[in-house]
Amino acid sequence: MEKSVRNVKRIAIQGGYGAFHEIASLHYFENEEIEIVPRKTFKDLFHSLNNSHVDYGITAIENSLAGSILPNYGLILESSMEIVGEIYLRIQLNLVALPGQKIENLKEVYSHPMAILQCQKFFEDYPGVRLIDSNDTALSAQKIREENLSGIGAIASQLAAEKYGLEILAAGIETNKKNYTRFLILGDKNGKERAGDVNKASLHFTVSHQFGSLAKVLITFSFYNINLSKIQSMPIVGKGWEYQFYVDVEFNDYEIYKQALAAIQPFAGELNVLGEYKKGKSVFE
């Protein structure tokens, strides 16, 4: 199916209905009519984007507790899409199961590895429960309902519990209540926002194999009063001990930001602008 020609925006998400990706989409496109298009993996999501099957995609990129989702940086770089926005979602994780179940009777609990990592402390009080990694929080909840699995739980959102008719056995089981996930919204490169709406950008660059190259890039950003809100290094495959960098920069003046990009060019072996957009808001699920 091709992109919608009506006012309904088709949004590809990773995971099933009720996933935190859907919740983030509902908040970001809160005043617009959207259709959620679930995809099992992030690769499937980007495939739909790159083949014009949807209007936008939304992908988690980092969590305040578990850190960055490193493979997604590569998917963005390889994609024909650009970052057009972001949103920070406060994540509340819940233990859900079929109605009538009790925590003490659960043998296994399924969820995404990142969700399990964020709830380890809660399950210390239930050593008989085996925690098992799955592809997605919402898909874990869906599996319980579709297969009518007794003695099995999932870590998922309240929306997933509602969609699949599951009971919340324990709400807010995440260890740290300041638990946020940052989601990026991706769209066509020809759909750029106006410069006046932009105060943040995501960049990818390599540095020349010379002493102090990275330091020169960082000093240049500082000279132009550009704030680096994120810096992520990753090795360059096939080049021993050489690195590429993904950075997020924030600025008040778009023209000065463009001047800074020109100024770092001599120190960067490769420079890609992954997206220029408005800094995202933080919302509670």
What does the block give as tokens for 165? 């008719």
What does the block give as tokens for 51? 């083949």
Angle made by CA atoms 233, 234, 235, in degrees to the nearest 5:
130
- Please give the positions annotated as active site: 181, 183
Q: 3-class DSSP state for residue 212?
A: coil
Are 76 and 186 within 8 A, CB to CB?
A: yes
CA atoms within 13 A on the CB side of 128: 7
DSSP-assigned letters across all residues of 113-137? HHHHHTTHHHHTT-TTPEEEE-S-H
Q: How many CB atoms lie within 10 A of CB 114?
A: 19
> Which helix (H) or strand (E) is 56 found in, with range?
strand 56-63
CA–CA dist 67, 64 (Å, integer): 6
Q: Helix, strand, coil proportions of the chain in percent (round to 5)?
A: 30, 35, 35
User: How many whole angstroms from its chain centre is CA 173?
Assistant: 21
Tell me the C-alpha to C-alpha distance, in Å, between residue 223 and each of 29, 228, 266: 36, 12, 15
Q: 3-class DSSP state for residue 70?
A: helix
Tell me the C-alpha to C-alpha distance, in Å, between residue 168 and each of 58, 161, 171: 26, 7, 6
CA atoms within 13 A on the CB side of 198: 20
